[in-house]
Amino acid sequence: MITLSENAYGKDRVRLTKVVRDGATHSILEFTVHIRLQGEFEKVYTEDDNRYCVPTDTMRNTVYVLARKNTFDSPEEFARIIADHFVDNFEHIRTCEVRIEQNIWQRIVVAGKPQEHSFTKERSIRTAFVRREESKAEVRGGIRGLEVLKSTGSYFRDFLRDENTTLPEVDERIMATTVEAEWVYGAGATDSNGSPFNSACERARQIILEVFATHHSPSVQSTMYRTGERLLDAIPHMDSIAMVMPNQHHILFDLSPFGLKNDNEIFVGTDAPAGVISATISRD
Known catalytic residue at 249: yes
CA–CA dist 68, 7 (Å, integer): 31
Of the candidates 85, 215, 237, 249, the residue annotated as catalytic is: 249
Give the number of other CB atoms < 10 A from CB of residue 154: 22
Of the candidates 11, 85, 215, 237, the residue annotated as catalytic is: 11
Known catalytic residue at 11: yes
DSSP assignment of 119-187 equals: EEEEEEEEEEEEEEESS-EEEEEEEEEEEEEESSSB-B-S----TT--PPPBSS--EEEEEEEEEEEPT
Of the candidates 32, 56, 95, 190, the residue annotated as catalytic is: 56
251 contacts 271 by C-beta, under 8 angstroms: no
183 contacts 141 by C-beta, under 8 angstroms: yes
Cα angle, residue 56 at apex, residues 51 and 58 outer, rounded to 5°: 80
Known catalytic residue at 3: no
Which positions are annotated as active-site residues?
11, 56, 249
